[in-house]
Chains A and B, each alone.
Chain A
Amino acid sequence: MSTVLVVIAIAAIVVLAAGLLIVVVYNRLVRTRNAVDNAWAQVDVQLKRRYDLIPNLVETVRGYATHERRTFEAVTAARAAAINASGPAEQARAENMLTGALKSLFAVAEAYPQLQASRNFAELQGELADTENRIAYARQYYNDAVLTYNNAVQTVPTNIVASMTGFRQREFFAVPDAERGPVQVRF
């Protein structure tokens, strides 16, 4: 009888310890996942700031370079695609396209000295460069959070709890090739 009790007690302790471990691991996974969501929200804020700046920029350039319709349309389309993108991978592709379109816009602007001299244009250009820098930092912050989360989801023993409770790996917000080296956010 006493042996049975000892076995039951040991089993209860093991079950309790396992339950406690699961709770601790689960809570940690929730915290890291929330950190990822929070970091993505920060990326989203900076991206929206960028989207808001683009119409003003296009209108300013249009005031001086009325014949560059194709470039304006490309920027507008790329902006719309970026706004409608969902998920980090698709968002990254759309952002890369938008960056390319903006580079074309700034290339066009270089042909118009009066536009270059415009204070409004210079301020918008500066604000956009600052926003690109914020996006770069927000992206780095998000990718760090994803790395921490994915490490937790993939490594033992948290991967067991993660698979039981539906935690899946998250996508990184891919860095454009041009930004893999030292970041110089200039147009």
Chain B
Amino acid sequence: MSVFPIAGAVAVGLALVATAAWAGLLGLLMAATRTPAVPTGPPTGVLPPEPPAVVDLITGGWRLCDEAAAATLLDLAARRVLAIEEIGPELSLVRLSRNPPAQPLTRYEQMVLEHVAGLARDRVVATAALAEGARHLGRWWKRFTRAVIDEARAAGLSQPRWSTRHRMILHGTAAVPAALAGVALLVLVPVDAYEDIDSMISAFFVAAGVTFMLLSRLVERLGGERGTPAGAAAAARWLGVREQLGAGRFADQPAAAVTIWGRPLAYAGALGLAERAVRSLPVSRPADDQRAWSDYGGMWHPVLVRYRGPGPWGRLFWARRGWPAVGFALAAGLFSGFWLWVLGLLASVVGWPDGLATPLAVLGALAVGGPPLVGALADLTHRTNVQGQVVRLRRHNRKANGSDVTHWLAIDDGRGRVVHAHGVDGPIWAGLVEGDLVRALVGRSWGWVYEVQVLRPSRHRTGGRNGDDATGHPRPAAAGGPPAAPPPTPRRRAGRWRATPGPAPNR
């Protein structure tokens, strides 16, 4: 309770009025700096000179969508920097040219080409494998966006929403409501709540600072890019091209059709008209948890990753180390035995033979707990070596509070197209990168990894990591959710095409 309730109310009121006035100023500046109206130009088949990624930017409200990366790859294919070949309905290849590009590439084109080259084996990578690799997708996308925006600005099509003067005005005036918020806090909190004058000053600066930061953050969030008059005119022309291309059947064309269609397919991709081609080139999308692409053995191939073991007990007991698995098997046996015993007792009440409860309980306990117990005991003594390439490293919270985390390690040993991800200790997991060639000592029954030896480090190790946290691995998911939260992904245009997130694991 404030000592000066009226003064407190006045101070809060002043702070609110100042904030409202500042918001009004912000609104005025936003109206003054909005992108000029972009009418759709007359339909035309003549392609203006802007590259597809820039077209994506200026026709998407000056925000880059994730078709831009795929459209850039299609454009590179149309210009013979690389080739996209269809081997089957579910397999296409990107093949790098033997010769260097005839024309210099832009920074973002170089980024796409480097990503492809980093994945390629013998100059070849499967299109679906373009989501693989160990890059940090969020950072990669940021650099890509920056490069596209720089090119659009250099061409006079785009400019930052806030000029230096706008920023100075907005940040400078934000100091007023921030200071009034600090004063309001001082007036509202009783004087005796402070230990000394220093703590009062600190409270003022904390309140003012937090308010200032929030307002500044709002300014930056509302910043971004806006179109210049030239950009709006170019966007109008491209919308006319979109009208023309929309009459074609680009939506069903595979990426390999770029051999026939050439650059119009790349532009159709940038304009959101070539859904199938763009979707088949996941350059800027996170890798699927359950469908990995591996180049172990020299050729890219798909590998289905299961986050559980084989057989009926695989869901419950897989990825558990020896002694905990023994305990879990005993607990499962006792639990089922107890309830079967209770069931037997109830059955005897309704006329079933007496003495059925105990044998039923024993049999049930043995049936449920016996096989996993044998498997768990076997894991304590008999382990096997698995050698192959790490294709997935994921974390999964068994509990919502994150207290029980399972670290998953999926190894493609080249013997099949389905692999069961193993459980592994966090410290071992943290030292691995997708693409590492490893030899792992694994429990035969319940798939716990006891030792891992890296035989050959991943070639992606030098290129950063795919994860999103400090260790370079994806963040853990909430219990019951997917095994890892995807890294920040590029924006998709509403209504263009549906996102296809990786399916959730079975545990």
Q: B-contacting residues of A (Cβ < 8 Å)? A: 35, 38-39, 42, 46, 126, 130, 133-134, 136-138, 140-141, 144-145, 147, 181-185
Contact = CB atoms under 8 A, between A and B. Distances in A.
Given A38-B88, A126-B98, A130-B95, A184 B301 contact: no
Nearest to A147: B417
Interface of B: 85, 87-91, 93, 95, 98, 122, 124, 297-301, 417
A48 to B, nearest CB: 14
Contacts, number: 45
A133 B122 contact: yes
Contacts of B301: 140, 144
Given A137-B93, A184-B122, A144 B87 contact: no
Contacts of A182: 297-298
Contact of A134 (B87, B89, B90): B87
Nearest to A41: B88
A181 B298 contact: yes
A141 B301 CA distance: 9
Contacts of B87: 42, 46, 134, 137-138, 141
A133 B91 CA distance: 14
B91 A141 contact: yes
A20 to B, nearest CB: 26
A87 to B, nearest CB: 20
Contacts of B85: 134
A38 B299 CA distance: 20
Contacts of A144: 301, 417
Nearest to A137: B87
A138 B88 contact: yes
Contacts of A133: 95, 122, 124
Given A39-B88, A42-B87, A184-B122, A134 B93 contact: yes
A126 B98 CA distance: 8
A35 B40 CA distance: 44
Contacts of A140: 299, 301
Nearest to A39: B88
Nearest to A179: B298
B316 to A, nearest CB: 25
A-B pairs with lowest CB-CB distance, top 7: A182-B298, A183-B298, A141-B88, A137-B87, A141-B91, A42-B88, A138-B87
B257 to A, nearest CB: 16
Contacts of A134: 85, 87, 93
Contacts of A137: 87, 91, 93, 124, 299-300
